[in-house]
Amino acid sequence: EIVLTQSPGTLSLSPGERATLSCRASQSVSSSYLAWYQQKPGQAPRLLIYGASSRATGIPDRFSGSGSGTDFSLTISRLEPEDFAVYYCQLYGSSLFTFGPGTKVDIK
Amino acid sequence: EVQLVQSGAEVKKPGESLRISCKGSGYSFTSYWISWVRQMPGKGLEWMGNIDPSDSYTNYSPSFQGHVTISADKSISTAYLQWSSLKASDTAMYYCARRIAARGYYVMDVWGQGTTVTVSS
């Protein structure tokens, strides 16, 4: 079973700053199967990135994903007030989905 | 508009049974699998299982296999998640999501609004 870890657990930043979130897999995975979701309080998750680097429909270009093998990252180039949320990476493999524990991006 | 609309909040006692629903609209319901995801209070997301509404094939996370049952009625574009005997530890928000599989990608692109299940004596 592949385990996903995310770091940091919490990222405290100010609007306008750059956020870099990390997702690490316990073994090498196909980047095609790595996705990122955003969840705001009281809301359902929203798909941001699929295939490690492709933005989902309607996602602003300040969100970008990268990585391969075991190390992946989500970057928010300039934080907007609506970007403060929890971010989860997700992996698909062997017909199963696995979520990382999440990174909370909060206002400094 | 593509939507998944879930049934309302439930309050149950331990040992009771429960079935919650997820109705799809705005797309061909049998063309996409439905996933169920649990979120316990203050915690992260946990994938529970999938169903293919076209033939009701299911697969489950090992963590949930045998504890819940996922089903679907394609005639009314609705998927279900059910418990035969609830426990207090089943208290959580439950989301359904549409699973897309395209060009080698497998993700959940549309989500229901969530159903809160509270189990308490």
- pLDDT, one tens digit per residue, over A34-62 is 999 999 999 999 999 999 999 999 999 99
Chain A residues close to B113, C-beta within 8 Å: 44
What percent of chain A clears pLDDT 70, i.e. is strictly above it?
100
B42 touches chain A (CB under 8 A): no
Residue B65: left (phi > 0), alpha (psi -120 to 50), or beta?
Answer: beta
B40 touches chain A (CB under 8 A): no
pLDDT at B9: 98
B65 touches chain A (CB under 8 A): no
pLDDT at A95: 87
pLDDT at A90: 98
Chain A residues close to B50, C-beta within 8 Å: 95
Half-sphere exposure of B105 (CA within 13 A, CB side): 19
Of B47, B103, B105, the CB nearest to A99: B47
pLDDT at A15: 97
- Pairs of residues, one from chain A and one from chain B, whose beta carbons lie less than 8 Å apart: 62
Strand locations in B1-121, DSSP E? 3-6, 10-12, 18-25, 33-39, 45-52, 57-60, 69-73, 78-83, 92-102, 105-111, 115-119
Find, in chain A, the residue whose alpha carbon is nearest to that of B42. A41
- Give me the average pLDDT of each 10-residue run along chain B (121 residues): 98 98 98 98 98 97 97 98 98 97 89 98 96
Chain B residues close to A91, C-beta within 8 Å: none
Chain centroid to Cα B69, Å, comes to 9
| Contact between chains at B107 and A96 (C-beta distance less than 8 A) | no
Chain A residues close to B103, C-beta within 8 Å: 51
